[in-house]
Structure 1
Amino acid sequence: MLKEKEFLDKKELIQINSISSYLAMFPVSVPLDLIKKYSTENDLIMDNFSGRGTTAISSRFLNRRFVGNDLNPYSYVLSKFKISKLCKNRIFLKLRKLEREYENIKDEISTNGFEEMLIYYSEYTLKQLIFLRNRIGKQWKTNGKYINAILAFALGLMHGPERKNGETIYFSVSMSNMISMSPNYVENYKQKHNLKTKEINIFKKLKNRIETKFFDLLTKEYNSSFKYHDSLKPLNFVKDNSVNLVITSPPYLSIVDYTKSNWIKLWLLGYDRKNVSKEIKLKDKLKMNEYIEFIKSYLNNIYPKLKTGSKVCLVVGDVYNTNLIEETWQEIKEEVNYEKIDLIIQEVSENKKSLRSMNSKKGKATQVEKILILKKE
């Protein structure tokens, strides 16, 4: 049972991790359990498909070092935020400076060319977002850690639902906070439910969000690194024989299109809806044979980076009524130098997620993800 301080610290960890939603994300309980089981303090944890940085922030929470990468700009911003040593007051100083810059030029900002975005935002709000997009969004790869933190918080507020009383923490008309819906869908939904865009001051919303989601864990020095990098290319930023544990969730066949599903957030980073899938090349549209080859190539690519005996935990959901990870392992096990240790089920019920071995008694779950545990031989 968690002690009171541990319980409160874990609540803060969950709050930090929830600054922005992310498709196919796993909860902090998954990496926390695996890190505790398969590593010790100061070990190096790696995640090569970092997503919103759940493994990164969990490693930080448990005093492990971290190295990771991803090819999604959205993931880059979130993961970089979760490994940075930050001061809340300095974030506020940067935000106030941005707000003053906006006030000085707001009359010069035009929404021409962004008519589609007026479906989601009032003109008053969209002008602020255009400023943020041009000033810091398009520079997502080179921003300093404090501007990156502001961008990470902004991404989490780009769209989401109103409360029943009409209040909202988000910038947009009331909609899902998980998926960037298409303009036609949102326009029809607005008309059907008589929804209107509101004059939202994004700087005020950002101040409130930072105030409620910034905790002491982010102020501590942290030994970590994160790269915008393809996981099938040489991982030159990771030393050979240095990684103690890998926890990662590779893309699942063609079940999720991360670029189209996040196009509004990616718009803030300088991308346009119609071209985003062409500009950002993610390996999330694979057929079964391609997926098997992808996983084999990935495991072989990370192999030199792992210490002998290190564990690799692959979190993979069952899709299309197939035992995806089991079938994949059967196809590749003779071509990779890993030993299978376990296959764990992550049960998703209405109110919690839990892990159990495949060998234990099965419970009633509404959704199932599986975690293949491998060991470097």
Structure 2
Amino acid sequence: MASNGKTFSTAAERWEGIGPYYAMFPTRFADAVIEEHTAAGDVVLDPFAGRGTAIFSAAASGRVGIGVEISPVGWVYASAKLSPASSEQVEQRLLEIADISDEYAEQAQSLPKFFSECFSPSVRRFLLAARVGLDWRRCTCDRTLMAILLVYLHGKEGQALSNQMRQTKAMSPDYAIKWWAENGKKPPNLDVVEFMRQRIRWRYAKGVVEADGSRVYLGNSVNLLPQLAQLVCEEEVPKAKLLLTSPPYFGVTNYHYDQWLRLWLLGFETDAYVTRGPYQGRFTHPVRYRSLLKEVFCHAAELVTDNAVVYVRTSKDPFTKEATLDAMLAAFPQKRLEERFQPFRKPTQTHLFGDKTLKAGEADLILLPS
């Protein structure tokens, strides 16, 4: 099995892909930056951790990754691959959830129409049992199973628990129902336990990555970074030699709307809303967006060494790039700027939303010691 040059012959290659998520930078990119700017044992900081690509890359290469992520979906992905439970525990938990799924038969019938068009009755019962029964915030085993469930919650026909859908982005209920009807698509009638058992065993077949000391925190960097800075002052946490991140691009990504179905499985609302989600307005309101970036980078400055490298991938959209660079320079005024430009090689998220004009790509903004 190979994809994009991967053979999936190592634990890192099998776990790094958890899970599908927009606005993530490639693992190979993170690997190269970490290799160039750090040594074994160094700390890598990512205050916009997403699914934990930079943090996991650091851990897999003998560094320590520390991250903060505001989206529960991204946090579950990142936490699970940094510290997964044993495969035996996860499979046992899978069976326990399946055993109680019949208790949710009545509730499965009362879900909105989208769910009956998206999932078969047995899958709906299982998902409801998992939604209630998995304590993903506190239990490592439950979080690991939840992460793998989230990967396969929706996707291409035959490769997911759902009717035909994109894997990275959940479509709006009304649009999905209409599209399925027009294309004659029905939810797959599958054995959830067997389907998930095969995928759990594949994930664990090459082992797991030892990520001692690496972790990602769930919450807002504006609030959590000062708490981490206090731990640095108390010498409980070492300072980072590399700040590697990619902040949300202005006006492009809506993490709640894109991930509404996975958020539902985590216990959030049943419906998709465009305007909900923590700090969503800061990604679309210019003043709030600038304020968010400046606050985060200034707090992050307290967590890195004086000779740290700050490496940020952002959009070449003029406003996003300018706001990001202004925030970086405000936090690190003594550092030397270097820019590298990265053209897009595949369709972008804006392409998915109907804007198919050519884009210049992304920009890497690098602050180096003077």
TM-score, shorter chain, exceeding 0.5: yes
When normalised by structure 2's length, the TM-score is 0.84
Q: Secondary structure at the match of 1:169?
A: coil
- How far is the alpha carbon of 1:115 from its aligned partner? 3.3
- C-alpha distance in 1 between matches for 2:131 and 2:177: 23
Match of 2:165 in 1: 175
What letter corresponds to residue 151 of structure 2 in structure 1? G
CA contact (8 A) 1:349 1:366 kept: no
Gap runs ≥5 in structure 1:
1-6, 163-167, 352-364
Matches within 5 A, 1:176-325: 176-216=166-206, 218=208, 220=210, 222-235=212-225, 236-237=227-228, 238-240=231-233, 242-272=239-269, 273-274=271-272, 277-278=275-276, 280-282=278-280, 285-319=283-317, 322=318, 324-325=320-321
Matches within 5 A, 1:64-75: 64-75=63-74
CA contact (8 A) 2:68 2:218 kept: yes
Task: Name the CA shift for 1:113/1:286 in 2 (closer, same or farther; >3 Å).
Answer: same
Q: Secondary structure at the match of 1:267?
A: helix
Task: Name the CA shift for 1:217/1:300 in 2 (closer, same or farther; >3 Å).
Answer: farther
- C-alpha distance in 1 between matches for 2:306 and 2:262: 40
- C-alpha distance in 2 between matches for 1:59 and 1:112: 45
- C-alpha distance in 2 between matches for 1:154 and 1:234: 28
When normalised by structure 1's length, the TM-score is 0.83
The count of residues paired between Structure 1 and Structure 2 equals 348
RMSD in angstroms over aligned alpha carbons? 2.8
- How far is the alpha carbon of 1:92 from its aligned partner? 1.6
- C-alpha distance in 2 between matches for 1:274 and 1:331: 32
- C-alpha distance in 1 between matches for 2:252 and 2:73: 19
CA contact (8 A) 1:70 1:76 kept: yes
Q: Deviations over 1:205-257 (max 9, x none)?
A: 21111122225452535222221121112521352461111111111111111
- C-alpha distance in 1 between matches for 2:137 and 2:275: 18
Q: Which is worse superposed, 215-224 or 115-124?
A: 215-224
Q: Secondary structure at the match of 2:148?
A: helix
What letter corresponds to residue 26 of structure 2 in structure 1? P
- How far is the alpha carbon of 1:331 from its aligned partner? 7.5
Match of 1:152 in 2: 147
Task: Name the CA shift for 1:68/1:193 in 2 (closer, same or farther; >3 Å).
Answer: same
Matches within 5 A, 1:49-198: 49-102=48-101, 105=103, 107=105, 109-136=107-134, 139-142=135-138, 144-162=139-157, 168-198=158-188
CA contact (8 A) 1:158 1:172 kept: yes
- C-alpha distance in 1 between matches for 2:186 and 2:53: 34
- How far is the alpha carbon of 1:258 from its aligned partner? 0.7
Is 1:371 aligned with 2:337? no
- How far is the alpha carbon of 1:70 from its aligned partner? 0.9
- C-alpha distance in 1 between matches for 2:180 and 2:330: 54
Q: Which is worse superposed, 29-38 or 207-216?
A: 207-216
CA contact (8 A) 1:157 1:169 kept: yes
- C-alpha distance in 2 between matches for 1:329 and 1:107: 53
Q: Deviations over 1:119-164 (max 9, x none)?
A: 211222211111111111xx4322x1111110000001111112xx
- How far is the alpha carbon of 1:301 from its aligned partner? 0.8
- C-alpha distance in 1 between matches for 2:147 and 2:32: 26
Task: Name the CA shift for 1:85/1:267 in 2 (closer, same or farther; >3 Å).
Answer: closer
- C-alpha distance in 2 between matches for 1:148 and 1:287: 33
Task: Name the CA shift for 1:46/1:336 in 2 (closer, same or farther; >3 Å).
Answer: closer
Gap runs ≥5 in structure 2:
1-5, 348-357
- How far is the alpha carbon of 1:34 from its aligned partner? 0.6
Q: Secondary structure at the match of 2:160?
A: coil
CA contact (8 A) 1:339 1:375 kept: yes
- C-alpha distance in 2 between matches for 1:340 and 1:283: 32
The percent identity for this pair of structures is 20
- C-alpha distance in 1 between matches for 2:210 and 2:298: 34
- C-alpha distance in 2 between matches for 1:45 and 1:124: 43
Match of 1:31 in 2: 30
Match of 1:355 in 2: none
Task: Name the CA shift for 1:93/1:123 in 2 (closer, same or farther; >3 Å).
Answer: closer
What letter corresponds to residue 87 of structure 1 in structure 2? S
CA contact (8 A) 2:59 2:210 kept: no
Match of 2:353 in 1: none
Q: Which is worse superposed, 197-206 or 26-35?
A: 197-206
Q: Deviations over 1:152-201 (max 9, x none)?
A: 00001111112xxxxx1201111111111011111111122111122233
